[in-house]
Amino acid sequence: MGNGQSDLNFYLQTDAAINPGNSGGALVALDGRLLGINTAIFSKTGGSLGIGFAIPSNLVRAVVNGVVKGGRLVRPWMGAAGRPVTADIANSLGLDRPGGVIIEDVYPASAADRAGLQRGDIILALGGHEIRDTTALKFRIATTPIGESLPLRVWRQGEAQALTMEAEAPPEVPIRDKRELGGRNPLSGAVVVNMSPALGDELGIDPFARGVLVLQVRRGAPADKAGLRPGDFVRKVNGAEIGLVDGLAKAVSGQAPYWDITIERQGKELSERFEG
C-alpha cells in the first residue's frame, strides 16, 4: 500500500509462557511446526504468564530469503493506496457485508497499475486469502516473494472480477540524482535527492510521496541557517514548481535580489523570503 512501511508490525498472539531470554526463540505447534519467533510478552505480574507476541513464520521466511538472496531485504510494493471498507461503503456499493480494501489511488506503472487495478475497486481476496482490511493486505504482500504472480479478486461496478498481479520491488523512478546544492542561495549546503517508491521504502516514509527530498543539511551552511531540515520537500523556488533535483539545481544556480522558498514539512507548506 501507499502508506509508509518503516516496519511491518504483524504479530501472532499466544498464551504460551514467554520468559526473559525467550525473545528470538521459536514458537512451535504441538506437531513441531514453526509458527513464529517469540518477541515480547505483556504481563500484569511481570512473570512469564500473560499475552505473548510472536512474528509469524511466513513473514520471517520472507525476510530471511530476501537477505540470503540479495544481501538486504526488499519488500514487494503494490503501488496502490486504499482504506478499509466500512458498513456504509459496503451498502452503497452492493456488498453484503463490510470487509476488503477500497482503492483510492494507483501509482503509475506500478504492479497494481499493470494488473489493471482502478480507483474505486475493492480488493476482496489476494493470493487465495480473504482481505478484511489494509493490515491484512499489507501482510499478504509482505510475505509474497518478488516475482510471484498473485490472483486478485476485486469488486468493481457491482460484480466480482478476477485480476492477476505480479509482486514487484518498489521502482526507483525517477533516479535519485543525489547531490549537494551550492551557490549563493538559502538552499546551499543541502543534500537533496529525487523521491521514488524505492527510496520511500528504504527510508520508511510514504512511497507515494514525490518531489525533491532533503536528506542532509551541512552544519553552518546557508541551508542550515535558513532552517532547512532533513525530511523537508522543496516545492517552489521564486514561484517555480520544483519536481526534480536537476530543476532545483538550475533554479538556484544564478543570482537573485531575493529568494522565495516554499517547502513541505510533515504535510504542511511553509514559505519564506530570503535576501539574495
CATH number of the CATH domain containing 59: 2.40.10.10
Same domain? For 183 and 271 the reply is: yes
- In a shared domain, residues 84 and 66: no
Cα Dmax for the chain = 76
Inside any domain, residue 265: yes
Within a domain: residue 231?
Answer: yes
Using pLDDT thresholds of 50, 70 and 90, give the confidence band for residue 60. confident
Average pLDDT over residues 131-152: 92
Identify whether 102 is part of a domain: yes
Do residues 140 and 127 lie in contact, with contact meaning Cβ atoms separated by under 8 Å? yes
Res 4: pLDDT? 35
Q: Which domain holds residue 46?
A: 12-70
Any domain includes 174? no
pLDDT band at 2 (very low <50, low <70, confident <90, very high): very low
**Between 81 and 55, whose confidence is greater?**
81
Higher pLDDT, 52 or 132: 132
pLDDT-above-90 percentage for the chain: 67
**149, 212: one domain:** no
56-65, 70-79, 128-137: segment of lowest average pLDDT = 56-65
Spatial distance between the Cα atoms of 142 and 8, rounded to a whole number of angstroms? 8
pLDDT given for residue 154 in this prediction = 98
**Total structural domains in the chain?**
3
Instruction: Mark whether 105 and 190 lie in a shared domain.
Output: no
Q: Of 134, 80, 82, which is closest to residue 111 (Cα–Cα)?
A: 80
- Per the model's pLDDT, the better-predicted residue between 172 and 72 turns out to be 172
